[in-house]
A and B are shown apart, each in its own frame.
Chain A
Amino acid sequence: MATCCSKQTEPTRNGNARKVALVGNPNVGKSVLFNALTGAYVTVSNYPGTSVEVARGSATINGEQWEVIDTPGMYSIHTITEEERVAREILLHETPDVVVHVLDARNLERMLAMTIQLIEAGLPVILVVNIMDEAERMGLVIDLKLLQQKLGIPVIGAATARKRGIDEIRSAIVTYRCACDQQRFEYSRLLERDINEVSCLMRGEYILSRRALALLLLQQDEEITELVRSREGDGHSLLAEKVREIAFDRRESFHLDLSLERNEMVRRIAIGVFSAPEKRVVTMAERLSRLAVQPLTGVPLLLIVLYFGLYQFVGSFGAGTLVDLLETQGFKEHFNPWITDVIKGIIPWEVIQELFVGEYGVITLGIRYAVGIILPIVATFFLFFSILEDSGYFPRLALLVDRLFKHIGLTGRAVIPMVLGFGCDTMATMVTRTLETTRERVVATLLLALAIPCSAQLGVILALLSKFPGALAVWGACLLLLFIVVGFLAAKVLPGETPMFYMEIPPMRLPQLSNVFTKTYTRMQWYFMEILPLFILASVLLWLGKITHFFEVVVEWMKPLMAAIGLPKETAVAFIFGFFRRDYGAAGLYDLQEKGLMDVRQLTVAAVTLTIFIPCVAQFLIMKKERGWKVAGTIGVFVSLLAFGSGYVLNKILLVTGLLS
């Protein structure tokens, strides 16, 4: 039996590893501690008869083998949820040799009540006061030695996420000895009398102390009642009668009385142990968090983030320097000439040579676009995205734009699909299903199709226009204007109320390098694996279109349309590419600009038109799946007309005003 004082920590039990159970509230760092303690093998499985998962791992501490159990989050020994029941089952039936109670130093007073319950239950408890780093930053002072003295159990301060205190915890586990100096926490005279009357009637053997069981029985805990019934045999009826009698006498206030008495115990313990500064210390992260959500400071902060993150890092460095290195120097100057010679040496037929290394060749166009242009752009974009994500900026952005979004029939919640849309509009369209009302979903789907460029498209456009800041400003202004005006009109046309938006925001923090690189690599890998076959397929289709002259017919057919918006007929190619995929179209535009076919005005008009232009095939199919043919078709036609309409108007304005000339 693992009850305190009933045993010392014997080296092994029947040759098996000894057990340590980690318990505590959810989100206090139990899993981080579990990962720090355990070795290479970890199993995650459902606790028998439940759908609750429990992780188990092994740890070698000072040469001794230990089994570490990460229990589900629990708030009290008196259980309510299935997770709490499983956590208590582990304490009751797996008899851990050491129970490590992990709590959050910032909420010490609230969480100490459970420590008292664990001690009261006679369990071999070690207390880990975790997240000490944050508490210290907030100016909280915790006297761990005094706390240890008051509780009579080992107390360790830690910041497990920063690996602080891990060695001390290991040492405390392995050197744990019977804590016979555990404190006994006295309740009021009346409650002590009730506890005594119930516990004196118990005869069975239990893991938990009779004192703790008496309290659980008086709280009408069904599982404990059942357990006691099975252990007490004939004596149970007398015990049950006593419990019933006391429960009836105190039926109105037992839970409240017990809770108040425990709060008073915690308050007494906290005296001298815990002190908070008179004026709350505001951490750097909190200050930044406030700046990010207030409109006066939040908007300039957003512009700074966009300037350095998108314009400088993704646009100038990713789409400029890296693309130049890979696409121009790598592919055009070295790889393409070499592979063209190789293919022409192997394949004698010109038409087949064209398939691989021709104008729309699988290698010279498809792979060059994917590896030379898109890959460096999405790599820098996803790196920037992951840094923002890991810092906790996105939920603050949701709060910042909530007021603006309400005017266009959306709420801050719509930031999720909008932000994801900058990664890929197709999956962002799918995420619109989580918005509360149909009206919100339709407006968000429309705005995604219209004014949110995907990462690669955005990167290429930034690279093309960054050499001409005026052109970039015109492009940005056009998209913002369309986003607001179309959103506002859509909200007016579509009936319905805008729902309330609220969310619990996680703390802001310094992005962790390992998280950022893992997420960036993972996103890049999936993105690349997704686009590569599509780019190859698009190249094959374009090759087919070329050899059958169908492609020329389409280009000729689009010539008047291109002329109407002031673009050379060759630009039609980028629009045809864009229908396959947005990023493919953007890469086509990059090629045209490199050939010197467009001036600044034409480049700006093409960039605006192509960004607004009809969503790619995949996005259109998802629009149809999510919103139905009618809505998807209407959005497709509206967006296409608006794209060319906007291109036409913009071209005229630029010609008349002489802007960008």
Chain B
Amino acid sequence: MICGFCGYEFEEEHGIKGCGGCSGGCHSIHCPRCNYKNPLESGVVKKLKTIFGKNIKKKGDKR
């Protein structure tokens, strides 16, 4: 993903997640370079992307 603030390109897994500050769980990825809070794609958006574009399979997933 690309940071919305500094434009740094990083893998979602390399961002900083889960600091526990937000009620209702973490919904964002903080940029590892500037710490800007980038929104984590919601399930609906991911689903739509799966239908119309990509189905990103993470390590450990089975086809």
Contacts and interface: CB of A to CB of B under 8 A. Distances in A.
Given A26-B9, A390-B4, A416-B34, A44 B39 contact: no
Contacts of A530: 22-24
Contacts of B11: 44, 53
Interface string A33-48: 0010010111111100
Contacts of A299: none
Interface string A42-83: 111110000001000000000000000000000000000000
Contacts of B7: 392, 395, 505-507
From DSSP, what is the main secondary structure of chain A's interface residues? helix
A457 interface: no
A638 B51 CA distance: 53
A625 interface: yes
Interface of B: 4-7, 9, 11, 13, 19, 21-24, 27-28, 30, 34-37, 39-42, 44-45, 50, 53-61, 63
A42 B54 contact: yes
11 contacts: A42-B55, A43-B57, A44-B11, A46-B59, A416-B35, A431-B35, A431-B36, A522-B27, A529-B24, A530-B24, A625-B21
Nearest to A523: B39
Interface residues of A, number: 45
Interface string A388-406: 0110101100000000000
A44 B59 contact: yes
A27 B54 contact: no
A72 B4 CA distance: 21
A518 B41 contact: yes
Contact of A526 (B13, B36, B42, B50): B42
Nearest to A57: B54
Contacts of A115: none
Contacts of B21: 426-427, 430, 622, 625
A184 B38 CA distance: 47
A250 to B, nearest CB: 38
B6 A53 contact: no
A565 interface: no
A395 B4 CA distance: 9
Given A427-B22, A427-B37, A431-B36, 12 more contacts: A31-B9, A44-B59, A416-B5, A416-B34, A420-B36, A426-B21, A427-B28, A505-B7, A506-B7, A522-B40, A522-B42, A525-B44
A161 B49 CA distance: 17
Task: Tell which of B11, B61, B63 has the most Cβ of chain A within 10 Å.
Answer: B11
B31 to A, nearest CB: 9
**8 residue pairs, one from A and one from B, having the closest CB atoms:** A506-B7, A45-B59, A434-B35, A430-B21, A526-B27, A389-B4, A522-B39, A530-B24
Given A389-B4, A426-B22, A42 B57 contact: yes
Contacts of A395: 5-7
A534 interface: yes
A534 B28 CA distance: 20
Task: Tell which of A31, A506, A618 has the most Cβ of chain B within 10 Å.
Answer: A506
